[in-house]
């Protein structure tokens, strides 16, 4: 925890930045030197005041972000394992050291596909001069769909509740009101129930084979996320 004297000293120094900038630029102009411009001098002063080392930020900025992500996952279902590519989008609110949001997701088509809507809540720990560590717990409704007509003329449609777990890192490379954010995470999704769907093959109206497929399983994988953050307060360059 920072000592009060340190905070006071930092506040005094930051308050003097505009004054020092004005005096420096005025002196340069009076001596006929090349004018660096107030913005350049201010950025140099901020860089000098930037903390060194890695530490948990004591002033996380509240942001509202819109993300798009792509993922590669493996689904274990009905006694088999199948790889899937996934795309999705989500809205995320970061408030102090917490975050919450929701989104939609779509898998590729390989035997069976799924679509889902989800919401999540978790922690986001931003570190100065490094990345933010994130962990989320979410709830989803995952809808499986198969176009295989052995389940009937419309195929199979099964909706199941799921739990989501994500652990990853993110970074906002530039300060400002609007900034890009990139992140990567490992995830697990576990369906809370399963459902058996009957199927049969017919030849000239006669059933020659039948059985059931169990929908519902566990997905593990990794995702890469790119989005934009809108800050309710501009992040200062030296924080």
Q: What is the pLDDT of residue 8?
A: 47
Q: What is the pLDDT of residue 49?
A: 56
pLDDT tens-digit map of 7-35: 545 544 555 555 555 555 555 555 555 55
148-164 as b/e, with b when 16 or more CB fall inside 10 Å? eebbeeeebebebebeb
Residue 91's DSSP bridge partners are 66, 102
Q: Where are the domains of the chain?
A: 4-49, 63-231
- CA 6 to chain centroid: 34
CATH 3.30.565.10 is held by the domain 63-231: no
Separation of alpha carbons 83 and 3, rounded Å:
52
Burial grade of 126 (CB within 10 A; 0-12, 13-18, 19 or more)? buried
CA distances from 79 to 50, 106, 178, 183, 193 (A): 55, 22, 46, 32, 15
Q: What is the pLDDT of residue 29?
A: 54
Per-residue pLDDT of the chain (239 residues; tens, 9 = 90+): 444 455 545 544 555 555 555 555 555 555 555 555 555 555 665 565 566 678 888 878 889 999 999 999 999 998 889 999 999 999 999 998 999 999 999 999 877 899 999 999 999 999 988 899 999 999 999 999 999 989 998 899 999 999 999 999 999 887 778 889 999 999 999 999 999 999 999 888 888 999 999 999 999 999 999 999 998 765 444 34
Separation of alpha carbons 52 and 50, rounded Å:
6
Q: How many residues does the chain have?
A: 239
Q: What is the pLDDT of residue 238?
A: 36
Separation of alpha carbons 47 and 238, rounded Å:
6
Smallest CA-to-CA distance from 236 within 50, 18, 76, 105 is with 50
Residue 33 has a CB neighbour count (10 Å cut-off) of 9
Are 179 and 236 in contact, with CB atoms under 8 Å apart? Answer: no
């Amino acid at each position: 925890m920072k000592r009060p004297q340190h905070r006071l000293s930092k506040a005094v120094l930051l308050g003097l930045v505009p004054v020092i900038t004005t005096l420096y630029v005025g002196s340069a102009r009076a001596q006929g030197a090349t004018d660096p411009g107030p913005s350049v001098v201010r950025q140099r002063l901020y860089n000098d005041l930037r903390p060194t080392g890695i530490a948990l930020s004591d002033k996380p900025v509240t942001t509202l972000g819109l993300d798009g992500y792509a993922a590669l996952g493996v689904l274990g279902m009905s006694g088999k394992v199948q790889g899937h590519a996934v795309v999705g989008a989500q809205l995320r609110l970061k408030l102090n050291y917490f975050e919450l949001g929701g989104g939609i997701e779509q898998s590729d088509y390989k035997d069976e596909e799924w679509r889902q809507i989800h919401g999540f809540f978790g922690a986001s720990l931003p570190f100065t001069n490094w990345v933010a560590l994130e962990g989320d717990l979410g709830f989803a409704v995952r809808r499986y769909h198969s176009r295989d007509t052995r389940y009937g003329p419309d195929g199979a449609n099964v909706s199941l509740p799921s739990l989501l777990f994500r652990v990853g890192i993110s970074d906002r490379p530039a300060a400002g009101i609007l900034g890009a954010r990139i992140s990567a995470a490992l995830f697990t999704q576990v369906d809370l129930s399963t459902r058996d769907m009957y199927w049969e093959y017919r030849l000239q109206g006669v059933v020659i084979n039948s059985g059931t497929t169990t929908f519902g399983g566990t997905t593990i994988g990794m995702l890469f996320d790119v989005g934009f953050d809108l800050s309710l307060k501009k992040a200062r360059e030296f924080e």
